[in-house]
Amino acid sequence: MTESRSLRIGHEKAFLFLSDEYDGASTRSRHDGQLWAMRTRLRVPQLEASALVHLTDSQDTSLLEFFVELAPQWRGWDGIAEWRAYEGGLTLSCTHDGRGTISMGTELRDMHLDWVVRAIVPIDAGALEQLALDVAAFFAP
């Protein structure tokens, strides 16, 4: 069995934490190591929430593709760049302020307990390229 992997997106006090382990078990396929779900924890001052977010191959864009497409646009873009997980367990809505900060609107849902939390996670725009590499390492089988 391989060691578990995790990824933190954001800053020290406001971040999205992804892990391939949930309740002590791996969320990777035993057959090929593909990630089928991820433990997702959203933490901002005075709020912390965690849920299991399911993934699927049939999504239009993977989370990796989302960050790979954003990376070359670190200087900015117009509008909102959005990604949504299978079944809507996690939604990311990123905007760029044109001054070097990305506001990652994060919506985390627990589909079984029927709750939703929303928060903004700041990301340094200059860190997008490294973030795309980190996401690739996290999702690699």
| Residues 56-83 pLDDT 10s | 876 657 999 999 999 999 999 999 999 9
Q: What pLDDT score was predicted for residue 61?
A: 72
Q: Output the pLDDT for position 56.
A: 84
Q: What is the pLDDT of residues 98-118, one digit of tens each?
A: 999 999 999 999 988 999 999
If we measure between CA atoms, which residue out of 72, 79, 109 comes closest to residue 94? 79
Report DSSP state, residue 87.
Answer: G
Higher pLDDT, 42 or 112: 42
C-alpha distances out from residue 54 to 24, 63, 123, 133, Å: 17, 12, 24, 22
State the pLDDT at residue 59. 61
CA atoms within 13 A on the CB side of 115: 7
Cβ atoms of 41 and 49 closer than 8 Å? yes
